[in-house]
Amino acid sequence: MYGPQNKLAGTSSIVFIQDSCALQENCASANGELKGASYNYYSAPDKKWHRIWVDNEGCNLELTGGAMNGKMVLQSSAGRNGKNEMIRDRITWTPNADGTVRQHWEQSPDGGATWKTLFDGLYKKKR
Number of H helices, E strands in the chain: 0, 10
- The residue ranges of DSSP E strands in 30-83, in sequence order, are 35-43, 48-55, 60-68, 71-75, 79-80
What's the structural domain count of the chain?
1
- Please name the amino acid found at residue 72: M
Please give the residue range of the domain that contains residue 43: 4-123
Cα–chain center distance at 57: 16
Query: Which burial class, exposed, middle or buried, applies to 74 when counting CB atoms under 10 A from its CB (0-12, 13-18, 19+)?
Result: buried
Which tens digit of pLDDT belongs to each residue from 67-103? 999 999 999 998 877 777 788 999 999 999 999 999 9
Closest alpha carbon to 115 in 124, 126, 106, 123: 106
Report the C-alpha gap between 63 and 74 in whole angstroms: 5
Q: Do 60 and 52 meet the contact criterion of CB atoms below 8 Å apart?
A: yes
pTM recorded for the entire structure: 0.87
- Single out the residue of 32, 33, 12, 34 nearest to residue 23, CA to CA: 12
pLDDT at 25: 93
Query: Percent of the chain, pLDDT > 70?
Result: 96
